[in-house]
Structure formats: C-alpha cells, structure tokens
Amino acid sequence: MPEARTLGEAPGPRGHWFWGSIQERRHNPLQLFLRAHQEYGDFVRLRMGPTISLLSLTSPELIKHVLLDHADKYGKPAGLVRDAWPLLGNGLFTSSGDFWKRQRRLMQPAFHKERLAALAGSMVEATQQMLARWQARPNPSEPLDVSAEMMHLTLGIVGRALFSTDVSGTADRVGQALTVALAETNHRILSLGLYAPDFIPTARNRAFRQALDSLDSVVFELIARRRAGQTQGDDLLATLMAVQDADTGERMTDTQLRDEAMTIFLAGHETTANALAWMWHLLAQHPEVEARARAEAEAVLGGRAPTAEDLPRLRYLTQVFEETMRLYPPAWIMARQPVKEDVLAGVRLTPTPRTIVAISAYALHRNPKLWPEPERFDPERFSPEQSAQRPRLAYLPFGGGQRLCIGNNFALMEATLITAAVLQRFRLRAVPGHTVEPEPLVTLRPKGGLPMLVEPLQVSA
C-alpha cells in the first residue's frame, strides 16, 4: 500500500500567496469549483486563507468513501453548525451522533410515501389558488417574479403539510420572519465567521433576534394548542408528536418539535421553490421540452387536477425536474469535517476544523466523465435506462449516504404535481433582454428573482 501523501501535496490552484482562493470562493464560487476540477481532476485542494484547506470531490468513488464507506469519520463542519444553530437548533440538519440517529428514526414514518400521498390534495389546492390569482391579474402582460411566486407557493404548502395552517400570506409574520432569519443565516454561513457576535446589538443582530422570537412564538403556540387539543390535523406535526422511541418510549419535547419544524420549513420551501424557478427558466429556453411535458400532462390528466395516483404516469415531468436539479441543484454544495483520522485518495486527514471536505453538486453534475455534454438540458438523461447506467453517487440533489434528505420524496411529488397543474393552464416565457444568473448562497437562487411573462392558455370547452 503506497504511503499517504501529506495534505500539502494534494493538487489544486495556488491562488493568492496569502488568501489562496478565498476571494473567488466568496464572489464566484461556482466557476472556482468548475475550473479547479477541469484543470486538476476529480480531487482538488483549494486554500482558504493561510490555514484552511478545502478538499473538493467530483468522483463518485471518493464521495462514496466519505458519505457511505467511512461516514463515521466525517461530521458536519463546526462553523456551519454554529452559524445555522440559532435558526435550526438541534434539528436534523445540525445534529449528529446518536441524537441525530434517534431523531431521524422518529421522523422517518412522517415521510413514508403512503403518508405523503395524503398531502397531495393540499399541494394541488394551493397551486390552483395561485393559478386563480394569476388568471385574475389586472395587467396580465406585466412580468411576474416567478421565483417569488414559487417561494410563496411552497411556503404555503409546507405550512399546511406541517401544521394544517396556511402561513404564506404576505402579512403573516411567519413568512416575513423566515425571510429575515434565512437571509441572516445565509450571511453568517458565507462570511466564514466574520460577523458581529449575537451579544453586540447591531441592526442585523436585532432584526435577527426579532425574527427568531417571532418564529418561536408562532411555532411554540401551534405546538401548545395541538397538545391541548384545541387544534387537529392529519399533518406532519401530528405524526411527529405521536411517534415514540422504540427503546425508551420517549416522545419529542416541544424544543425538539420546534427545531425539526424549523428545519422542515427551510428545507421544505426554500430548496423546492428555487428548483421550480430554475425549471420554468429552462422550459422557457427549450420549447420542445416544454411541449412534450405539456402533452404528457394533458394526456394523463385531460384537463383535471393531478392527484398522487397520477404520479407514475407523469414520468417525463419528473425527469424534467430531475434534470433541472442536475443543472441547478438547490443544495449546490455540502461539506464534511474529518472527526477521525482517514486516508482519502492518498491524502492523510486528521481531525481538525482547518480541513473541510466539500462536495459541490454543481460541479459533480457537470463532470463530463459522468454527464456527456454537461451543459445541455436533456430530461432523457433520467430515463430508467440511462439512470441505470450511472454510478450511484453521480447525482446528489438531495445529498447522499445516511444523511440523504428525508424530504426528497416530498419534494419530487410536490414539484411534479405543481408542474402538471401549471402546464395545463399557463405558458411561462422569458422577459426579452433579461439576463438570469445563479446566486450561490446556502441555496442556489436566480439572482434578483426571475421575472417572466405568464400567458394563459386557451382551454377548449
């Protein structure tokens, strides 16, 4: 067995003599990862300042090593957990070890496919309400920010699914507080720890604290009312409150319910909304794909609203969404920190916060060895035949390994139902002259929103 190289021998760009690649990581991270892997291969070292090394992977074999074969040797980076903790607490995204395993086991029944099928009706109902609002616009020729529309829609859906409550209204403090809290969490994660501590009463910190207090008061009140029998609902909250640990008989505390609710709120609307926005953008650029998707929706549904039972026959629509998440994965990067000694591609890693292993789904999904003509939008890549030929971890829109996103089936069902409903009634067109750029925050958003022309279709009687 060859002797392991030292970390300093891993391949990668030199960058600035002191800062390394940290400035490009802040200002143009997508191109940084793409270019580094094009020049240095599937295993790249990027220096982030004088002491931090970021090891980036676009090889399914190396990703399998980290996420599956030696998952016990890698944990969530301490800085990421610290920055996300005020909003998400000890939820599935931030927790680890035995507590994470317990929470994942307790929450899994709430996301079984049979349980999710019961939520399809509320997803379609929320979509139909949005479409009725589009139809009634006083000036339909004005562009509509489709990114904001998808955020509004998915927030309403996840509110109904979680609490049997619509929280999507613009005047509702949950939607407003989530926007503020998520923006500040984005800022903290991307600032690499260079932000004012919470005890300093800056304007940002005060707004963040106010948003968190508002969210906590609403969520804890909903939990208290449910425990007191004042509300009912066949929703995710009911499922989470009912589950018991098989070994101890314990149920989730109010704080645990709050933390998991916040995690579901964030993951259940922000990521899906961004993916849907990118999908409408791509369909507008590829009318032949849009026409085929609409034809499938019309053939399967015949003008009626979609249901969960229709999903197996809406296969091409699902492929369209899957291909969208290949090109624009909402969770565009994930990171791990060595917690035990390991050897990765001949590089010896020791437990230290100064070494981060990064898996950029954005770069992985553009690896030409895995995806021929990677920039081409082609939903046929996700036909059963082509999917069966790819390595297991060549596609990571929902992460991978034991920490695969628990809501992946929720998102796929939601996106397919929304797409089918919209395609039957509207055609979305690009605004002439408007340039659409990705903004890689914690999630991958269309920068500055996504204005589009929303044209009603002529539906025959």
Global pTM reads 0.92
More confident residue, 230 or 397: 397
Give CA–CA dist 388/383, Å, rounded: 9
- Is-contact 328 274, C-beta < 8 A? yes
pLDDT digits (tens, 9 = 90+) for 287-342: 999 999 999 999 999 999 999 999 999 999 999 999 999 999 999 999 999 999 99
- Is-contact 241 251, C-beta < 8 A? yes
pLDDT at 6: 54
Percent of the chain with pLDDT over 70: 95
Percent of the chain with pLDDT over 90: 64
- Is-contact 372 63, C-beta < 8 A? no
pLDDT at 7: 54
The DSSP secondary structure of 360-410, one letter per residue, reads EHHHHTT-TTTSSSTTS--GGGGSHHHHHTS-TTS--BTB-GGG--TTHHH
Average pLDDT over residues 350-361: 93
pLDDT at 167: 67
pLDDT digits (tens, 9 = 90+) for 40-57: 999 999 998 888 889 999
Q: Is the pLDDT of residue 437 over 70?
A: yes
Residue type present at position 423: L
Reduced to 3 states (helix: H, G, I; strand: E, B; else coil), residue 355 is strand
Please give the helix or strand (H or E) that residue 188 lies within, else none: helix 173-190
pLDDT at 170: 44
- Is-contact 319 380, C-beta < 8 A? yes
Q: Is the pLDDT of residue 5 over 90?
A: no
Q: Is the pLDDT of residue 461 over 50?
A: no
Average pLDDT over residues 255-277: 90
Average pLDDT over residues 202-230: 91
